[in-house]
Amino acid sequence: MPATLPFAAFTALVTFLVSFPIMGLKLVKEGTQLTLQSGTPGAWTFIGLAVLTVFLFQLFRPQIAGATAGLRSRLPAMPSVMPEDEAQKARIERVILWVLIGVALIFPFASSRGAVDLATLVLIYVMLGLGLNIVVGLAGLLDLGYVAFYAVGAYSYALLNEYFGLSFWAALPIGGLLAATFGFILGFPVLRLRGDYLAIVTLGFGEIIRILLNNWTSVTGGPNGIGGIPKPTLPAIQTDPELAVVGLEFGRRAKEAGNVPFHEYFGIAYNSSYKVMFLYIIALLLVLATVYVINRLMRMPVGRAWEALREDEIACRSLGLNRTAIKLSAFTIGASFAGFAGCFFAARQGFISPESFTFIESAIILAIVVLGGMGSQLGVILAAVLMTILPEVAREFAEYRMLMFGLVMVVMMIWRPEGLIPMKRPKLELAQ
Amino acid sequence: MTDTLLKVRNLKMQFGGLLAVNNVSLDVNEHEIISIIGPNGAGKTTVFNCISGFYRPTGGTIHFQDKPVHGLPDFKISRYGMVRTFQHVRLFSRMTAVENLLVAQHRHVNTNLLAGLFKTPSYRRKESEAMERATYWLEKVGLMEHANREAGNLAYGQQRRLEIARCMVTEPKLLMLDEPAAGLNPKETRDLDELIVSIKEDYDVSVLLIEHDMGLVMGISDRIYVVNQGTPLANGTPDEIKNNPDVIKAYLGEA
């Protein structure tokens, strides 16, 4: 008798106990009463198969593990494409970056409207991922309520526009600033907490913001949300009838007084895809700015301090580093990027409601960061692309989305626990 | 007369029912190397933790350059010019040696975010100054060739020296070393001896030392405080301490 037999029998029993009430029994309505009936023969076959599979897998687990061990050692052959030489590596990375930017710039002119629209969504998630990456990846603070700052950004544009008529370009910095302020206000009391406690408080904060937006009906419209948020305009100079700066709108007709439709200004035929392209380009510019800023931050004293604080907090304190201020800076800067992203999201959608800012959003953004590799910019971008595009591509399997999600997470933990592209911190080298 | 740098009076530290430090008083003057010795568990490190602000003392006063510092947060105390090391090496092990020294200069460099984003001239100047200071101290502790290696990969003795260099780049007035010679071989201990004396002589930084290596302590200390079970036992020059019957009794046990 193999040693695995008792355990295999036990797991088979558990499988049966779990699947039997779910698949093997059926509730049938007879008049006003519910009666319990046995399931279809097909369902019973499935249960039998499941039990058998689990039993056999557990029984022959050592043999299976032995067979797949060879497979696993062959899997991670991917990272070795990069040469070992650091300088050469940096050069290659720079080339890859420029090629990516080039492709991203040409992309809207060479693909369909739907693809550009999807790419814009991807860019929003890239921005959110990069922003959260500062907090989680660089400063090592687990934030489960990041979506709150996203919501603050989105609602600040929507509300500022509704009540004060502010344009997108005026609201963008204000949205970022407001989100940063919220980050600061939240961070101040909670950053003395560690790890798990911080995660729980931020989780709560995310929910508070959402529930507040949901219930403050007189201002935010509650669950009905806010609609009719104008799209961004392109500032241009008009010479006729008089010299003035006007906003170019991308609709067929200008909705706001003083604005001019884009196609009329340039004297070209109206095309609805201009609007999508324009949104895409704004998103791309925002992402590029984000990438640049974070790249600088990592090389600046504050970036070094984040890293040091993650490594040894006590040593930092002994050297005169104010840990609260440093953590707060990460929290605030991270939040401001969510604010920018939210502002843009509101402008793109034209309609926002608390629905868009549920916990699952926070979870997805966090998944992007973890999947990509904490602290790694390229990794986060790649993960954002995957996480946004895959569900769109595999629409037929939408019901299995969460299942796939879990599966991918498990596989990643085994295969590449440090993320798709593990972080390589830019090290300051001393010229010798 | 030399000026008093650090003045500790009647320091008390109580953890629940345990009185870890009881009525310890000590003075560190400018241009002095002072040692605190005592058997294991005597409360030496607790004294250190109180002075550097990691613990909030339950009684007594601590003045640094005539300013009260007891009860201040640790990072503020270190900014006054009192920097310490720890019994166990606490480097940022995944950062390079030179980066360790740059982090330590955090409050000297330009931390303005906008200045850093746009690399303003003042930002560049401060950064290059920090780099120069780091280079200087790497040279001083003999780690120049390891500047770009991760601190965690250095040999133990090198890590110890890097830790002292990391304290020195903050330009302190008082350096507090907690068992710096622990785990070093005789040659490394001699180097450490020279380094500490040079820190006092060439940079005019006072040193407060906790150490078990009596050869090192007796050789370089100007004065020694002996602590036993949280209470001060004796203090004086190395010669006085060597011949103090109470100290001998505490160390060797009663005959």
pLDDT tens-digit series, residues A293-324: 998 998 889 999 999 998 898 999 999 998 88
Whether A90 shows a pLDDT value over 80: the answer reads no
Are residues B109 and A300 in contact, defined by beta-carbon separation less than 8 angstroms? no
> Does residue A38 sit in helix, strand or coil?
strand
Most confident of A36-40, A57-61, A201-205: A201-205
d(Cα B126, Cα B167) in Å, to the nearest integer? 18
Mean pLDDT of A201-226: 92
Whether A345 shows a pLDDT value over 70: the answer reads yes
Inter-chain touch B96–A311, beta carbons under 8 Å? no
Judgement on whether residues B60 and B184 belong to the same structural domain of the protein: yes
pLDDT in tens, chain B (255 residues): 458 899 999 999 999 888 889 999 999 999 999 999 988 888 889 999 999 999 999 999 999 999 999 889 999 999 999 999 999 999 998 899 999 999 999 888 777 788 888 888 888 888 889 999 999 999 999 998 888 888 999 999 999 999 999 999 999 999 999 999 988 999 999 999 999 999 999 999 999 999 988 888 899 999 999 998 888 888 899 889 888 888 888 776 654
d(Cα A155, Cα A176) in Å, to the nearest integer? 11
Judgement on whether residues B190 and B65 belong to the same structural domain of the protein: yes
The number of C-beta contacts closer than 8 angstroms across A and B is 112
Residue B99 falls within a domain, yes or no?
Answer: yes
Are residues A341 and A123 in contact, defined by beta-carbon separation less than 8 angstroms? no
d(Cα A240, Cα A242) in Å, to the nearest integer? 5
Inter-chain touch A312–B92, beta carbons under 8 Å? yes
| Residue A37, phi then psi, degrees to nearest 5 | -125, 155
Q: Which domain holds residue B99?
A: 91-170
Judgement on whether residues B137 and B31 belong to the same structural domain of the protein: no
Residue B10 falls within a domain, yes or no?
Answer: yes
> Does residue B27 sit in helix, strand or coil?
strand
Beta bridge partners of B84: B176
**For testing contact with chain B, the best of A177, A319, A333, A425 (most B CBs within 10 A):** A319
Considering only the beta carbons, identify the residue of A307, A312, A432 that sits closest to B90: A312
Find, in chain B, the residue whose alpha carbon is nearest to that of A330.
B113
Q: Which residues of A touch B56 (CB under 8 A)?
A: none
d(Cα A432, Cα B98) in Å, to the nearest integer? 12
d(Cα B43, Cα B225) in Å, to the nearest integer? 12
**For testing contact with chain B, the best of A299, A318, A322, A425 (most B CBs within 10 A):** A318
Ramachandran region, residue A385 (left: φ > 0; alpha: ψ -120 to 50; beta: rest): alpha
Judgement on whether residues B105 and B220 belong to the same structural domain of the protein: no
Judgement on whether residues B136 and B197 belong to the same structural domain of the protein: no
Residue B199 falls within a domain, yes or no?
Answer: yes
User: B4: closest CA among B52, B63, B44?
Assistant: B63
Looking at residue A84, its pLDDT comes to 55
> Does residue B42 sit in helix, strand or coil?
coil
Judgement on whether residues B77 and B191 belong to the same structural domain of the protein: yes
Inter-chain touch A323–B166, beta carbons under 8 Å? no
Residue B32 falls within a domain, yes or no?
Answer: yes
Judgement on whether residues B229 and B248 belong to the same structural domain of the protein: yes
Inter-chain touch A297–B116, beta carbons under 8 Å? yes
Last residue in a domain, options B170, B198, B218: B170
End-to-end CA distance of chain A: 67
Measured over the CA atoms of residue A401, residue A405, residue A406 and residue A410, the dihedral's sign is positive
Considering only the beta carbons, identify the residue of B106, B116, B135 that sits closest to A321: B106
Judgement on whether residues B75 and B177 belong to the same structural domain of the protein: yes
Those of residues 87-116 in B touching chain A at CB distance below 8 A are 90-96, 98-99, 102-104, 106-107, 109-111, 113, 116
* Residue count of chain B: 255
Q: Which residues of A touch B129 (CB under 8 A)?
A: none
Residue B49 falls within a domain, yes or no?
Answer: yes
Residue B228 falls within a domain, yes or no?
Answer: yes
Place of tokens 């280079």: B135
Q: CA A203: distance to chain centroid?
A: 16
Whether A407 shows a pLDDT value over 90: the answer reads no
d(Cα A124, Cα A150) in Å, to the nearest integer? 10
- Which residue segments constitute the domains of chain A, with CATH numbers given? 1-25+39-61 (no CATH), 93-229+272-415 (1.10.3470)
Cis peptide leading into A241, omega within 30 of 0? yes
User: A329: closest CA among B91, B159, B156, B112?
Assistant: B112
Looking at residue B1, its pLDDT comes to 45
Cβ-proximal residues to B67 (8 Å cutoff; 6+ apart), any chain = B80
Inter-chain touch A318–B135, beta carbons under 8 Å? no
Looking at residue A426, its pLDDT comes to 66
Last residue in a domain, options B170, B203, B223: B170
Confidence of residue A145 (pLDDT cuts 50, 70, 90): very high
Please, what is the angle between helix A195-215 and helix A168-190, to 10°? 140
Judgement on whether residues B103 and B116 belong to the same structural domain of the protein: yes
Are residues B220 and B197 in contact, defined by beta-carbon separation less than 8 angstroms? yes
Q: Which residues of A touch B52 (CB under 8 A)?
A: 318
**For testing contact with chain A, the best of B50, B83, B92, B128 (most A CBs within 10 A):** B92
d(Cα A366, Cα A376) in Å, to the nearest integer? 13
Q: How far is B106 from chain A (nearest CA, A)?
A: 6
Burial of residue A396 (number of CB atoms within 10 Å: 0-12, 13-18, 19+): exposed
Looking at residue A430, its pLDDT comes to 67
Whether A258 shows a pLDDT value over 60: the answer reads yes
Judgement on whether residues B124 and B158 belong to the same structural domain of the protein: yes
Find, in chain B, the residue whose alpha carbon is nearest to that of A304.
B103
Are residues A350 and A227 in contact, defined by beta-carbon separation less than 8 angstroms? yes
Q: Which residues of A touch B95 (CB under 8 A)?
A: 304, 307-308, 311, 425, 427
Judgement on whether residues B77 and B3 belong to the same structural domain of the protein: yes
Looking at residue B253, its pLDDT comes to 66
Residue B219 falls within a domain, yes or no?
Answer: yes
CATH code: domain of residue B191: 3.40.50.300
Q: How far is B155 from chain A (nearest CA, A)?
A: 19
Residue B86 falls within a domain, yes or no?
Answer: no
Last residue in a domain, options B155, B170, B185: B170
Q: How many CA atoms lie within 13 A of B94 on its CB side?
A: 13
Looking at residue A272, its pLDDT comes to 79
Whether A285 shows a pLDDT value over 90: the answer reads yes
Burial of residue A421 (number of CB atoms within 10 Å: 0-12, 13-18, 19+): buried
Q: How far is A139 from chain B (nearest CA, A)?
A: 14
d(Cα A81, Cα A87) in Å, to the nearest integer? 15
Q: What is the pTM of this model?
A: 0.81
DSSP H or E stretch at residue A359: helix A359-372
Mean pLDDT of A255-271: 79
* Number of structural domains chain B divides into: 2
d(Cα A12, Cα B222) in Å, to the nearest integer? 76
Whether A77 shows a pLDDT value over 60: the answer reads no
Beta bridge partners of B33: B207
Two tokens, residue A415: 């295969």
d(Cα B202, Cα A112) in Å, to the nearest integer? 72
Judgement on whether residues B176 and B129 belong to the same structural domain of the protein: no
d(Cα B25, Cα A107) in Å, to the nearest integer? 73
The residue with greater pLDDT, A430 or B32, is B32
d(Cα A262, Cα A276) in Å, to the nearest integer? 13
Whether A79 shows a pLDDT value over 80: the answer reads no
Ramachandran region, residue B37 (left: φ > 0; alpha: ψ -120 to 50; beta: rest): beta
